[in-house]
Structure 1
């Protein structure tokens, strides 16, 4: 609304401007408009000033910040300079408090929030979002409930009686630890200072022992557990969870069985006889190493210092030889193995696992066959004749390179120095020509090939693999036919 300001001066040269709103509170500056009346009309000079409010925006609505406030898009009343927003609601922060979006009463300087509720911390307590009574300085929370810790005890969220300074929790129950003991969440009797737990049961450790969750007798200070059983270590021994007899200081375990190590031996979990200092184990059996030998877990005879093993059998290396796990005859110092067979290497030879004859120092192997290299030759695993120093192999056949030629694995005749191969056939290049693997006649220096056929290029022409007459310089092909271009034409592969 326009306000009127009376200027005490009779002159209008210095009008006074007045603003009724704080620019910072309003959110923007305002411009004053003043109307001056000349002194000719009035004795006193009056200045009329207007202050139009500039509207602010809250969501899609405009509002006057001097009387409203925008709270999360909602227009709310503006109480005073203490006005604040609590979610979409405005409140006077001098008389209210905002608790998680809810406007709550303000009590005093001790006011705090407990979830969406306010409370006075001098008279109340916040327990897990719930306002609870404050009894005294001993007040504590047990879940959502407050309690006097001098008279109660909180056990896993449950309020329980307080007996004395010995009060403790056992699960959700309280108990006097001077008369009870908690074993695995279960209250059990308290016997004396030796009371202990064995699972969910209490016991007097001076008369019992707990072995694997099972109560067992206590014999003396030598009592120990063996699995779920107790035993006296002076008279028993524990072997893999089994209580066994104690013989003497030599008592040992062999699996789940005890034995006297001065008279027995343990062989792979089996108690076996002890013979003497030469006693050893062979699998699950014991043996005397001075009279026996162990061959792959089998006790075998000992012959002499030459005794060895061949698989599961023993043998004398002076009379036998082991070939591939099989005992074979021993001939002499030249005895060797050929696979699973023995042989005399002075008279035989081993060719790919086959014993073959030995001819002389020239003896060699050709596959599984032996041969004399001075009279034979090996061609791809086949023994062939040796002709002379010109002997070579052609596939699995030998030949004399002076009289023969090898054409693609086939032995062919040798004609002269002009001899060549045409596929698997030989030919004389001075009288023949090779056309695609076929031997054809040689006519003259004009000889050429037309597919697998030869022709004289001075009198013939090749048309798509077919030999045709030549008409001269005008000769051309029409498909597989020749023609004279001066007299004929080729129309789509047909003479026309």
Structure 2
């Protein structure tokens, strides 16, 4: 019995999933073996004693159980010796009690100081700030570099096959050394000038030519190379389809076969009629099958109908379920649900369509019952009996009122600001200034608004040059010469302007 139990321990150690279940989370993985006894995996084994709890609170070292954390320090095991991981180091089983990990590191079984030495593949070298490792050797990065992490060569050198060459004198093309020429590039084992030639099939050809096996270089404007056959073009839209050329203006290609693209289409590697449905690169039999469309985690798939009147598919983990789209719907959880059982939602909230209003995903409780309506496109409501919805805003009345815009003139004359209200306050009475300005604008309708306003502001700030410009307008001169066109209250103002 003891021998059988020992073999069982070795077998499960080498083949942890050999119980027939490939799932790493199977029931066999929830147990460990300690002295031929099966224990829960949360219980460890230390010298045959099932007392170690694998909760990172203890450590087994030398057959004894020790606390992992002592006075804020982490204790570790070096072979059979327990040590403080903040004060000492262990290099592959060699214990260094007086070397702190803050200043020392391990290089194989040796300890070294970070600031004095460097470790390259278990070999110690003297540290220098311009040195770096290449394998188990060091090099000066100012003069050399590590080629493919195994060879140290000069900065102006490289390796071509088994040869080291100077990159300013030669170039390596397919492991062949070629004398270096300015602006030349590799094409197979040859070099070429891209300004005069092209590279096709590792062969140097003329500009605008390609390479066709068994035929050589050819002109792409007059011929096509279709699977090694050189064929002449019959038009600008003729291209390869298998080993022949076709006119892609009239036909298309499907797995090397040409077809009329006006009445047929390609489905995978088959040609089907235009009215047929292609699903998962196969022709769909609409009498017995439905197509489950592609989702984020699933690919397109054909599903057999559960009933002859089913016309849609709801994707599931097992493939999909067919359903009748007239009475059922596929929910967000990919479940077929009866439409009569669905709860109407406004955003994420349930609501009663007979009482509530849902306006642009915003819910208004009992709004429909109170006679309110949505004011689109905003998320607001209004009462149609007293208000009107105008471009998403509620207004009083029965029709939309266009916004009234004040006549605004430039408030500058020679880069100095002046307010119309400040101008009027200096020359007009409080009761008549707005009426006079209104009459003046009515008479000055033919004058450009910017010029008239500039000159009015200029007069207020004593700028004669701007005022003369305003008076030179023909319509202004006629008004000033005949003040009777204005109301009596404005006569004093015109007289004042003439002064």
What TM-score do the two structures reach when normalised by structure 1?
0.29
* Higher percent of residues as strand: 1
Over alpha carbons, which structure has the higher Rg? 1
What TM-score do the two structures reach when normalised by structure 2?
0.29
